[in-house]
Amino acid sequence: MSNTGNKDSLRQIPYIKELERVAVNLLRKNQNSKERLKEILEEYASRYAREYNIRA
Amino acid sequence: MQADTRENIILELENVGCLKRLRIEFKPGLNIIKAPNASGKTTIIRGFSCMFSDKIPPSHVLSLDELNGRIRVHYDGRIYEKTLRRTPSGQVMAQGDMLPFTDPRAFDACVALAETGVVHRITGGNVVFRKYLEELSYGNIYSAVINASQELINKYGRKLAGPSFRNFEMLPLLLTELTDLHIRRDQIKQKIEDLKSSHESRIQEIHDQIEKKSSTLSREETHLSQLTKNLSLEKEREEQLQELLNLTDRSSEVAISINKGIASSREKQERLKMEIETQTRLVESLKSDLEALRDLLKKEEETGPRGLRDLERRLENINKMIILKEEEIQRAERFPPDDKEYPGRLVVDVRSEILRKIEWLEKVTEYFQEKYMRRMTSARRRFNSNVTRAFRELGLKGFENVFLDQNFALHVMREGSIRQPIETLSASEKLTISLILMLAAKETFLPDFPLFIVDELTLSYDPERFWRIMNYIKRRVPYVIVTSLTSSLTGKPEVIHEP
């Protein structure tokens, strides 16, 4: 039961589906795009910090 | 059945490796490229692979003594062409089409080239196999996101451990120190006020004493003046009586009475003189006291309250310390205006922003870790299932099962469930297992890829077992291409087809 709860909460991570799609597309095209991947993660992390700060 | 409906694949190579110009045709089914050593068998495989995978660098394909080359493939009614060009700097550039079934994983799952270490994969241990399945199942994408996310978490962690944030952690202590300084300043100010007030009271007291003394002196001086005047009057009276006595008969009763009067006057004068003397001393004493009081007042006014300077110095020092502490607090609270990353921003805001970023990245890491685990577990199970099916259908003697355990270590089980260490297998057995594992990988991850290519693995191989495997593969893959060494001296590769 706790595992199910954990999976549900993981699915509710903001932008996670969008990030997964972007990251998979990027790395399937070029597996050496590690720096670009980090930039993308930083952009999403900043967006989360910004938007969830306002909500808080 | 599927292979029957397919058309032939025509491969044309120009200035590729040792081949100046070559045109060969692959038919659905098994295609055996036969040629002697150093006649271009591997070159054909490399050139063809360039059309569906980017694993082989163009510099490994173009002839060393040529500036331009070309690879052309006729497939499914269309021509796909790639040109190779050597730049003046010596770099080889490739430009052109890729086949429609191109897949970056195809080279690892569908081309058994001796140089790609197909045997090394089974002898390389669980790390090699985990990496292999990671790449084929795209689990490496998930692990790349996990790694990138972890790197960012570490980067942010290092940032939070930096001097700006360390100072911020000290803020409560700095604020307590500032409050202490303010308390000390207020105490000193109060002491100064008390000292000044006490000094003013003292001055007032001296003023009062002077006033009182002056008033007493004035009264006593008036009294002295009155005594002096009385003495003078008494002297005049004595002189008048003396003159009167001179006019009377000395033996008369009048004279006796005047003499008595003179004696009385003289007594009175003596008394007055004594009183004047006492009064004069009193007045002198009062004057001296008054003078002393005035001196004291002057001195008190000049020197001010005792200990005031010391207190004022301490107050000045504390004020300086307060300014420094406030500056320190300001630095701990806010980034400087010229900070490259967070100019003028409040440290508490930036810290909270970074913590939220870490929070999000940790969730992302957890999400992708779960995805990675599920994907890898599924990949391993499907892979094992295909390996088991291949061994069962091939009916190879001596092998009960071959599988990857949950740590991606390869286990070879002999009949009777006896585990045989990989390194003790013969070269032929290693090749057999390698080929079957590769085919299982292809069937698991690239089931629709139409090719399976085996390059020169027939050396030191049991021919009966090799062809049994090839025939098995032929039933599962539309086009199987195998290179084989011949002793022919014609030198030109030729393709023998077995439908």
Structural domain boundaries in chain A: 2-55
Q: Closest Cα of chain B to A1: distance in Å?
A: 16
Q: How many CA atoms lie within 13 A of B84 on its CB side?
A: 28
CA–CA separation, B255 and B244 (whole Å)? 9
Residue B147 within any structural domain of the chain: no
Question: Which one, of B198, B207, B194, lies nearest residue B298 by Cα?
Answer: B207
Q: Cβ A37–B363 below 8 Å, yes or no? A: no
Choose among A24, A44, A46: nearest Cβ to B141: A24
Is the same domain home to B190 and B322? yes
Give me the pLDDT at residue B459, please: 52
pTM, full prediction = 0.71
The ipTM, to two decimals, is 0.89
- Tell if the CB–CB gap between A27 and B104 is shorter than 8 Å: no
- What CATH number does the domain containing B254 carry? 1.10.287.1490
Q: How far is B409 from chain A (nearest CA, A)?
A: 25
For residues B206 and B92, membership in a common domain is answered with: no
CA dihedral B33, B36, B40, B42 (to 10 degrees): 60
User: CB-based contact (8 Å) between A45 and chain B?
Assistant: yes
Q: Compute mean pLDDT per 10 residues along chain B, 499 residues long, and list them.
A: 70 94 95 87 92 88 92 95 93 94 91 72 85 92 96 96 90 95 97 95 95 96 96 95 89 90 94 95 96 94 90 96 95 92 92 94 96 95 95 85 92 90 86 89 95 76 80 93 76 81
Number of domains in chain B: 2
Q: Is the pLDDT of residue A9 over 70?
A: no
Residue to substitute from B364, B369, B445, interface A, most A β-carbons within 10 A: B364
Helix axes B126-136, B139-160, angle to 10 degrees: 100
Final residue in a domain of this structure, among B327, B342, B375 = B327
| pLDDT number for residue B457 | 64
Residue B82's domain comprises 1-103+450-499
**B393 touches A: beta carbon within 8 Å:** no
pLDDT at position A15: 94
Q: Is residue B429 in a domain? A: no
Q: How many residues does chain A have?
A: 56
Structure confidence at residue B1 (pLDDT): 40
Nearest residue of B to residue A10 by CA position?
A: B367
Yes or no: say if B452 and B29 are a contact pair by the CB < 8 Å rule: no
C-alpha span between B169 and B498 (Å, rounded): 77
Last residue of a domain, one of B272, B299, B327: B327
Nearest to B243 by CA among B262, B260, B267: B262
CB contact under 8 A, A10 and B370: yes
Domain assignment present for B273: yes
Q: Does residue B101 sit in helix, strand or coil?
A: coil
- Closest chain A C-alpha to B355 CA, distance in angstroms: 8
The label of the residue with tokens 């539309």 reads: B478
Structure tokens that stand for B136 in this block: 């084929």
Residue B144 domain-assigned (yes or no)? no
Cβ A53–B141 below 8 Å, yes or no? no
Q: What is the pLDDT of residue B498?
A: 78
Whether B322 and B185 map to the same domain: the answer is yes
Reported as half-sphere exposure (CB side, CA atoms, 13 A), residue B371 has a value of 22
User: Residue B66, SS3?
Assistant: coil
Of A7, A31, A53, the CB nearest to B356: A53
Whether residue B339 is contained in a domain is answered as: no
B138 at the A interface (CB within 8 A)? yes
Token look-up 């105490």 returns B187
Same structural domain, B279 and B185 = yes
- B393: in domain: no
Structure tokens at B73: 């493939």
Query: Å from B138 to nearest chain A CA?
Result: 8
Does the CB of B104 have a partner CB in chain A at under 8 Å? yes
Nearest to B265 by CA among B239, B244, B247: B239
What would the 3-class secondary structure string for B282-343 be?
Answer: HHHHHHHHHHHHHHHHHHHHHHCCCCHHHHHHHHHHHHHHHHHHHHHHHHHHECCCCCCCCC
Contacts of A19 in chain B (CB under 8 A): 364
What is residue B121's predicted lDDT score, i.e. its pLDDT?
Answer: 79
B301–A contact, CB cutoff 8 A: no
Give the gap in angstroms from C-alpha A22 to the nearest C-alpha of chain B. Answer: 11
Contact B103, B441 (CB under 8 A): no
B364 Cβ under 8 Å from any chain A Cβ: yes
> Do the domain assignments include residue B203?
yes
Out of B151, B354, B367, name the one closest to residue A16 (CB): B367
Any B CB within 8 A of A19 CB: yes
- Cβ–Cβ of B360/A27 closer than 8 Å? no
DSSP assignments along B220-269, one per residue: HHHHHHHHHHHHHHHHHHHHHHHHHHHHS-TTSHHHHHHHHHHHHHHHHH
pLDDT at B4: 52
Cα of B448 to nearest chain A Cα, Å: 18
- In angstroms and rounded to an integer, the radius of gyration of the C-alpha atoms of chain B is 60
Assess whether B98 and B191 both reside in one domain.
no
State the pLDDT at residue B187: 97
Evaluate whether residue B344 is within a structural domain.
Answer: no
The CATH number of whichever domain residue B78 belongs to comes to 3.40.50.300
Please identify, among B279, B297, B327, the residue that sits at the C-terminal boundary of a domain: B327
Question: What pLDDT is recorded for position B455?
Answer: 86
Are B97 and B197 in a shared domain? no
- Decide: helix, strand or coil at residue B9: strand
Q: B152, A38: Cβ pair inside 8 Å? A: yes
